[in-house]
Structure 1
């Protein structure tokens, strides 16, 4: 049951600052506790023999399975480290298709048949567990009664100790699969996509003389997490925030973000206290967060870490979202990660900055001072653009969700049309290369003459385009359309797969030209030129919010799918099926299952929102409006009976009429919404149900909101039961 509105506000106003002030002296340096709860290299060296440590590091670097004997030795050392840290339980920590994390805790302590208590953690327990995962989304990979599923240790992501109150639990990052071995999580497809991209990149990189020492290519990710904070009393006073993470109704406050006074402004003390506490918990777990600031919307903030290898970065972001909730509760705050918790102000994204680097420390997307003369950079740069052009629909599908639909293209975030921004300078480089006529027998001299025409770089090679969903920002591509609640593994898996596939295509074409007698440098440049010409439609430097761009994009043949049911169909096209099969990232059976889970998640999210909206309207809004309506009616009746002229009670009469009209419209549309929801639920196919929710239920929800927000304006403030935007966003 939610708190009354004024009760919630009074709760905040009567608090003492000590209720949520957790700033301590923090006299110790970050270095003194950074990674202290992570089974890091330092911990391994202390708790493992030198031989075991080296074998483990070699196995991780080579991407090989660990032997049983090695697993036992590592388990013994890991248990000793964890219990020395106060851990009493261990858990396989995994990422099911719910989008968040899961864990099942088992005690280190066991009772023997003679009644003795012993500490126990075997190599088998480290390497594999069997959680009862029957209730996790499976998309038809198994029936509800088929409960068996396996989690298996991912040694490439470090184990860590999670502190919750007085509890200490050793968490072991794992994959999650069915009894038959099919992926039931986001981690396994991500790991497979990394492996595929690395193999493809290594073949291409060996075409260039300076890379003899390169033996590994890693994908790097730097995510930027946006979020809102609200006081917990206000949060609990809003049923919609509690149940859906966003406000389903609420009139925009007179002051929002239009003055831009919140963006990069001074961080309020209470929020800064929260941020410092959160950062400390992050640093304990080795999450290298370093940036914090106010975002555009009132009550909106952002934090970002240093770049990491993509698998670890994804794990850290998933762990961060859990930490954000836990730390916020300590400060009597609640975190809103929904992409659009408030209408009329900016929503929240999770920009994914994607790049590739070698074991020798080279960023393959770093242009240098002469990008137009850097064939290696141009190869990976243009190949990535070509991959995005070829699979724009799939990349769009990878970030699709019911919540992100509210954000994409809403004049604040990138549009649902996937385009690539590279900036004025690199656009000129691309045009110069594309316009050059290369003969089939072009030699080194021809190549050098072409490259010599490209000027040196004197400033940043790109400006920034906040309307672009996929932008090159100096030495990385920023995927801006990822939603704030999204597991980064989803778009990263697609990126790795499509770029890996394009690198394979690039290598094959270059080798074919070389075998036909073309000089290697000329062959490389010839394929680059072809890719540039083929990718031209996806390159766009203008305003992605404009209506003109939508028309232009349609002429270019670029897909525009603003809603999730239409967008995610890209996963199950013949083209995508072939891609995932060839890259060995997802089998056809797994792909169908992942698609089914996305469809089901969309349906369930809208179903919950629709039901919540109906209850709020019937149980909160209409009773308050009718109560005020009765007071107005009595006022009009009394004035009439006093014999006053009509113009003397015209104002309350008009107000009464407006309220009555909106009450009637709300009631009518709530009944229609309920009816459409029931009709939709009767369809047999999941995609038909999703379509009904998208095109029938959702428009009625939006219509109901319009009428409710009008009532909020018309009904006296003392009668209105729902916490308002001005309170949610401005009371700190």
Structure 2
């Protein structure tokens, strides 16, 4: 073993947990502290501007350029009150990370003084160099003009001392150069189509929202060990090496006691997430050694995706303070589990109905059956497109072994819903008998409360 490895091991063993104490503040007191959310908008914006932004967020209406000046003024006042000195259009190009260019609020005046200035034009639109980002071959090198445009449905936030404004990124000719633009187009199409179907069942439905709850798995490696491995530094994964004497054979790391160093890192990371309005609720050890997971509450899909991009940045910054390096590669080590980003999604109406929830009587819930069958048909018809959407060099290393999900596309619906579809298929006339859902209980030990079973196992 080279001396650098011995030195790295000695450094790692000598590390002490960096205790993190956020004080006596409750989460409810700090949640969204650095987010320009609706309560903050009411405080810093005119009623007319607030109504316009709220309508854009809730109904998808466009914001007038004159109103944008009022929004920008309120946003600037709030950001400066929080100590911000710069602003940036925060977007997600095809690099796997986020991108930003910081500009100062400072602007010199003719008399040699200075003011803080931020206009509606600066809020709504910026122009980064589109030729310097990956584009899949749709732009030539000399075709450099691209635009970032404000996405009012995802609230602005402060990171460090910079006001970050979520934006889309498109070419001069209109092609999407980022991940957010096609997502917003898809969400709009789903909303329009699903709302039309819902109105057959409930005329009060005005909007259908796609909801998403993601899970982020990751590895933590001490920085001394990380810098001793050029392959980890250059590629984010190991390219060679021997299997450890003990891996995940005993499955004893999963849900095990969280190491003290890691726990302090998690606490600080969660604190930063709460201040940025990210509703992180779950943390635990994952299957592989030094692998962990965090998960938030579900949110509207566009905001949820932004939060996942943001939290990966937060994780890396907080990890450095605790002498860790976060590995987000799908398969950083051979022979042990890789890291997944599982998505738990659904559709919800503005009247509060989860369209993919069977309810107590699945056979009589025709609205659920309609969306249920169409979801299965969509997966069947577009399995190749779904597979292509997660096709990457990293996932090629991970999928198809002993990890979820498998390399194939499948829909597992369980016995109860299978019976519902079988009964529907055999029905020639009349209606399905509305069988009341009975509570399935599992009595394990006399002293233990009965376990209420779900209507199906899951993969």
TM > 0.5? yes
Confirm or deny: 8 A CA contact 1:3 1:237 kept in the other structure: no
CA contact (8 A) 2:360 2:436 kept: no
Q: Tell me whether 327-336 or 244-253 shows the greater mean CA deviation.
A: 244-253
Q: Structure 1 206/3 Cα, relative in aligned 2: closer, same or farther at 3 Å?
A: farther
The question of 1:201 aligning with 2:194 is answered yes
Matched, 1:334 2:325: yes
SS at match of 2:333: coil
The answer to whether the Cα contact below 8 Å between 2:273 and 2:311 also exists between their aligned partners in 1 is yes
Among candidates 236, 239, 254, match of residue 263 of structure 1:
254
Is residue 226–residue 232 contact of structure 2 (8 Å, CA) maintained in 1? yes
Higher strand proportion (structure 1 or 2): 2
| 1:13 shift after superposition | 2.6
Counterparts of 1:70 and 1:389 in 2: how far apart (Å)?
45
d(CA) in 1 for partners of 2:344, 2:455: 15
TM-fit CA distance, 1:427: 1.4
Tell whether the 8 Å contact from 1:226 to 1:301 is kept in structure 2 after alignment. Answer: yes
State the partner residue of 1:611.
none
Describe the SS at the equivalent of 2:369: helix
More off after superposition, 109-118 vs 247-256: 109-118
Would you say 1:451 and 2:425 are equivalent positions?
Answer: no
Query: Measured at CA, do residues 162 and 298 of structure 1 come closer, stay the same or move farther in structure 2, by a change above 3 Å?
Result: same
CA distance in 1, matches of 2:93, 2:54: 27
- TM superposition shift of 1:457: 4.2
Structure 1 counterpart of 2:295? 304
Correspondence 1:410-559 to 2 at 5 A: 410-436=401-427, 438=428, 442=429, 446-447=430-431, 450-452=432-434, 454=435, 456-459=437-440, 460-466=453-459
- CA distance change for structure 1 residues 376 and 3 in 2, over 3 Å: closer, same or farther? farther
Q: CA deviation at 1:33?
A: 0.9
Q: Quote the Cα distance in structure 1 between the aligned partners of 2:158 and 2:438.
A: 47
Size of the aligned set, in residue pairs, is: 446
Q: Give the distance between the partners of 2:345 and 2:205, measured in 1 at CA.
A: 20
* Partner residue of 2:172 out of 154, 169, 179: 179
Please point out which of 139, 149, 154 is paired with 2:151: 154
2:99 aligns with one of 94, 98, 102 = 102
Task: Name the CA distance, whole Å, in 1 between partners of 2:12 and 2:147.
Answer: 46
Q: Look up the SS of the partner of 1:176 in the other structure.
A: strand
8 Å contact from structure 1 (residues 369, 458) kept in 2: no
* Aligned 8 A contact 1:407 1:413 in 2: no
Alignment deviations for residues 89-112 of structure 1 (CA, whole Å, 9 cap, x no partner): 000000101121100000000123
1:226 paired to 2:214: no
Extract unaligned runs of 5+ from structure 1. Answer: 467-732
**Cross-structure match for 1:84:** 81
Scaled by the length of structure 1, the TM-score of the pair is 0.60
Deviations 1:606-665 (A, max 9, x none): xxxxxxxxxxxxxxxxxxxxxxxxxxxxxxxxxxxxxxxxxxxxxxxxxxxxxxxxxxxx
The CA RMSD measured in Å over matched residues stands at 1.5
Question: How far did 1:465 drift?
Answer: 3.5
1:43-77 CA distance string (max 9 Å, x none): 11111122321222123222121101110000000
Hey, which of these two has a bigger chunk of helix by percent? Answer: 1
**CA shift at 1:3, angstroms?**
7.9
**Distance between the aligned counterparts of 1:463 and 1:256, measured in 2?**
32
Match of residue 357, structure 1, among 348, 355, 365: 348
8 Å contact from structure 1 (residues 95, 185) kept in 2: yes
1:25 CA drift (Å):
4.9
CA distance in structure 2 between the aligned counterparts of 1:60 and 1:339, rounded to whole angstroms: 34
CA 1:62–1:455: 2 relative to 1, 3 Å: closer
* Deviation sequence 1:165-187 (CA, Å, 0-9, x none): xxx00000000011112110111
User: Which of the residues 270, 273, 279 maps onto 1:288?
Assistant: 279
Shift of 1:455: 5.6
The answer to whether the aligner puts 1:390 opposite 2:387 as a matched pair is no
Gapped regions of structure 2 (runs ≥ 5): 441-452
2:152 and 2:92 map into 1 onto residues whose CA distance is: 15
Tell me the distance in 2 between the aligned counterparts of 1:331 and 1:61. 40
Q: Is the 8 A contact 2:56 2:153 kept in 1?
A: no
- In 2, Cα distance between equivalents of 1:152 and 1:326: 27
For 1:359-391, what per-residue CA distance to the aligned partner results, in whole angstroms no more than 9, with x for missing partners?
111100111111122111111111101110111
* Shift in Å, 1:119: 0.9
CA–CA separation in structure 2 for the residues paired with 1:349 and 1:186: 19
Whichever of the two has the greater Rg, that structure is: 1
| Superposition deviation, residue 229 in structure 1 | 0.6
Residue 13 of structure 2 corresponds to which residue in structure 1? 13
Task: Name the counterpart of 1:313.
Answer: 304
Tell me by how many angstroms 1:134 deviates: 2.1
| Aligned twin of 2:360 | 369
